[in-house]
């Protein structure tokens, strides 16, 4: 550290702007180093799109509305015989209505959420021998004929017997991976 | 600035660079820094990793496996481990299973027959326990504690947890005295 310069300024006065810039530069450097990880983490934590006052969720170019989440007690095997779920497990059927704005509905993925915040996948391995197809949201896979521009999708899940479902989550992967429609009960 | 002062400044810079180099050499490398977090537990108890809980219920050694009608022999010894796996809050699957011996050598689960329980094929739904057995091959010369390793990641285990459970196995060579083949329990929902 040298003494005063020709103008009589000491080290602190000569370097004051550099010192002022150090903190924001350090913060920017830190943000830059974690930005990619932060972005990846946010993409792995998609945000819910909640229903409007009328119970419909407008998401991904379609409108969605939960019809029911009920225990699936009438599951059949592919041959038509009754299907029994393993002991301690409950099977659920979630049905929701779809009102597309365009000609085609994007392929969807459906998950079930319970009161404990646990999230279950559609068409689990426990139901592989049951005649319970994966939900696609396509009009041709609707369990009821389309009417008034609306059709339905049905998804099947298993939970522990003590779990209480509260919502289904519908994701259109080809449209938006950062959000999902949350269809609450 | 005098020559001596310039020389001093140059030496100072060299010393700082040398210290920096020594520091970066002495510190663990990036893979070591980001290595998996071990979730260690005892045989017969629940061991909780980030995405799943595992309990090892039984372990045995065998000279041969009977998979369907096929008999699988080995140059070493088969270690058959009974697992009870439960996903925690999200659907997950076990994609990595291995045994580490006392010398740090790692033997991954065999792919000589389908093992969906630990090869990513079996999706675990939260709260629903699935049990089944897996089989791994270790050399007959293996001694010391064998530790089971399980992870929900396939290859890159960095910054994730890995369950580590020591297996209560004495002498693996004892299994070679009994040539009877053993079956491997397929995955099923636990009662």
CATH of the domain at A68: 2.60.40.1240
| Share above pLDDT 90 across residues of chain B, in percent, rounded to a whole number | 82
Chain A residues close to B90, C-beta within 8 Å? 118-119
Chain A residues close to B122, C-beta within 8 Å? 125
Cross-chain CB nearest to A120 (options B122, B125, B188): B125
The yes-or-no verdict on residue B180 having pLDDT over 90 is: no
What residues make up the domain containing A115? 47-184
Does one domain contain both B64 and B148? yes
Does one domain contain both A25 and A80? no
Does one domain contain both A176 and A154? yes
Task: Show which residues on chain B lie within 8 Å of chain A, measured between beta carbons.
Answer: 88-91, 122-123, 125-128, 188-189, 191
| pLDDT category of residue B1 using cuts at 50, 70 and 90 | low
Q: Calculate how close chain A gets to B147, using CA atoms only, in Å.
A: 29
Q: Which residue has the higher pLDDT, B75 or A177?
A: B75
Does one domain contain both A15 and A62? no
Side-chain half-sphere CA neighbours of B51 within 13 A: 19
The predicted structure's pLDDT at residue A3: 75
Question: Considering the domain boundaries, does residue A180 fall inside one?
Answer: yes
Please indicate if any CB of chain B lies within 8 Å of the CB of A125. yes
Does one domain contain both B29 and B40? no
Does one domain contain both A80 and A22? no
Write the pLDDT tens digit of every residue in A92-138: 999 999 999 887 899 999 999 999 999 999 999 999 999 999 999 99
Are the beta carbons of B133 and B80 closer than 8 angstroms?
A: yes
Q: DSSP assignment, residue A23?
A: H
Q: How far apart are CA B136 and CA B110, in angstroms?
A: 5
Does one domain contain both A27 and A94? no
Does one domain contain both A61 and A37? no
Q: Which of B64, B67, B22, B88 is CA-nearest to residue B175? A: B64
Question: Considering the domain boundaries, does residue A71 fall inside one?
Answer: yes
The yes-or-no verdict on residue A70 having pLDDT over 90 is: yes
Please indicate if any CB of chain B lies within 8 Å of the CB of A129. no
Count of domains observed in chain B:
2
Does one domain contain both A154 and A134? yes
Count of domains observed in chain A:
2
Two structure tokens written together for A26: 């350090």
Does one domain contain both B119 and B167? yes
The yes-or-no verdict on residue B57 having pLDDT over 90 is: yes
Question: Considering the domain boundaries, does residue A3 fall inside one?
Answer: no
Question: Considering the domain boundaries, does residue A4 fall inside one?
Answer: no
Q: Calculate how close chain A gets to B26, using CA atoms only, in Å.
A: 23
Question: Considering the domain boundaries, does residue A2 fall inside one?
Answer: no
Q: Which residue has the higher pLDDT, B56 or B142?
A: B56
Write the pLDDT tens digit of every residue in B100-133: 999 999 999 999 999 999 998 899 999 999 999 9
Cross-chain CB nearest to B125 (options A116, A117, A124): A124
Q: Calculate how close chain B gets to A117, using CA atoms only, in Å.
A: 7
Does one domain contain both B87 and B166? yes
Write the pLDDT tens digit of every residue in A10-42: 888 888 999 999 999 999 999 988 888 888 777
Does one domain contain both B57 and B20? no
Span B72-101, mean pLDDT?
Answer: 97
When scoring A111, A121, A127, A162 by the number of chain B Cβ atoms within 10 A, the one with the most, hence best to mutate, is A121
Question: Considering the domain boundaries, does residue A35 fall inside one?
Answer: yes
Span A76-80, mean pLDDT?
Answer: 94
Does one domain contain both B16 and B61? no
Q: Which of B157, B110, B152 is CA-nearest to residue B133? A: B110
What residues make up the domain containing B161? 36-189
Q: Which class for B191: exposed (0-12), middle (13-18), buried (19 or more C-beta within 10 A)?
A: exposed
The yes-or-no verdict on residue A1 having pLDDT over 70 is: no
Tell me whether residues B89 and A117 touch, CB distance under 8 A: yes
Question: Considering the domain boundaries, does residue A88 fall inside one?
Answer: yes
Does one domain contain both B86 and B2? no
Does one domain contain both B118 and B170? yes
Q: DSSP assignment, residue A161?
A: T
The yes-or-no verdict on residue B39 having pLDDT over 70 is: yes
Does one domain contain both A32 and A52? no
Cross-chain CB nearest to A125 (options B89, B123, B191): B123
Q: Would the ipTM clear 0.90, i.e. be above it?
A: no
The predicted structure's pLDDT at residue A2: 66
The angle at the Cα of B151, spanning A162 to B102, to the nearest 5 degrees, equals 130
| pLDDT category of residue B171 using cuts at 50, 70 and 90 | confident
Does one domain contain both B1 and B86? no
Tell me whether residues B89 and A119 touch, CB distance under 8 A: yes
Does one domain contain both A68 and A112? yes
Span B64-77, mean pLDDT?
Answer: 95
Tell me whether residues B128 and A87 touch, CB distance under 8 A: no
Does one domain contain both B21 and B113? no
Q: Calculate how close chain B gets to A158, using CA atoms only, in Å.
A: 8
Chain A residues close to B127, C-beta within 8 Å? 118, 159-160, 163
Question: How many pairs of residues across A and B have Cβ atoms under 8 Å apart?
Answer: 45
Does one domain contain both A19 and A98? no
The yes-or-no verdict on residue A157 having pLDDT over 70 is: yes
What's the CATH code of the domain at B84?
A: 2.60.40.1240
Please indicate if any CB of chain B lies within 8 Å of the CB of A117. yes
Q: Which of A158, A96, A95, A155 is CA-nearest to residue A126? A: A158
Does one domain contain both B60 and B8? no
Does one domain contain both B4 and B76? no
Q: Calculate how close chain A gets to B89, using CA atoms only, in Å.
A: 4
| pLDDT category of residue A171 using cuts at 50, 70 and 90 | very high
Does one domain contain both A153 and A106? yes
Chain B residues close to A163, C-beta within 8 Å? 127
Does one domain contain both A114 and A35? no
Please indicate if any CB of chain B lies within 8 Å of the CB of A89. yes
């Amino acid at each position: 550290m040298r003494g005063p310069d020709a103008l009589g300024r000491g080290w602190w006065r000569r370097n004051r702007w550099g010192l002022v810039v150090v903190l924001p530069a350090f913060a920017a450097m830190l943000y830059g180093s974690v930005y990619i990880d932060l972005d990846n983490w946010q993409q792995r934590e998609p945000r819910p799109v909640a229903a409007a006052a009328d119970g419909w969720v407008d998401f991904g170019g379609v409108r969605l509305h939960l019809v029911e989440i009920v225990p699936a007690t009438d599951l059949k095997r592919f041959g038509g015989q009754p299907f029994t779920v393993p002991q301690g497990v409950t099977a659920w059927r979630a049905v929701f209505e779809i009102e597309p704005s365009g000609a085609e509905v994007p392929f969807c993925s459906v998950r079930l959420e319970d009161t404990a915040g646990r999230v279950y996948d559609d068409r689990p391995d426990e139901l592989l021998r049951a005649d319970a197809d994966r939900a696609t949201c396509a009009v041709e896979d609707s369990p009821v004929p389309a009417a008034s521009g609306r059709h339905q999708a049905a998804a099947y899940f298993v939970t522990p017997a003590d779990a209480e479902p509260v919502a289904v989550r519908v994701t259109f992967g080809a449209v938006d991976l950062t959000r999902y429609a949350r269809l609450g009960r | 600035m005098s020559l001596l002062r310039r020389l001093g400044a140059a030496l100072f810079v060299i010393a700082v660079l040398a210290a920096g180099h020594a520091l970066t050499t002495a510190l663990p490398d990036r893979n070591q820094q980001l290595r998996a977090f071990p979730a260690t537990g005892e045989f017969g108890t629940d061991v909780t990793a980030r995405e799943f809980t595992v309990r090892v219920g039984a372990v045995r050694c065998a000279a041969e496996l009977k998979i369907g009608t096929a008999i699988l022999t080995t140059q070493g010894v088969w270690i058959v481990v009974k697992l009870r796996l439960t996903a925690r809050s999200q659907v997950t699957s076990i994609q990595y299973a291995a045994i580490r011996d006392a010398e740090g050598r790692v033997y991954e689960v065999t792919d000589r027959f389908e093992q969906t329980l630990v090869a990513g094929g079996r999706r675990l739904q939260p709260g629903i326990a699935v049990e089944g057995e897996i089989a791994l091959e270790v050399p007959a010369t293996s001694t010391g504690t064998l530790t089971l390793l399980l992870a929900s990641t396939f290859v890159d285990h960095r910054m994730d947890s890995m369950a580590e459970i020591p297996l209560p196995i004495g002498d693996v060579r004892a299994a070679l005295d009994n040539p009877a083949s053993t079956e491997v329990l397929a995955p099923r929902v636990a009662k």
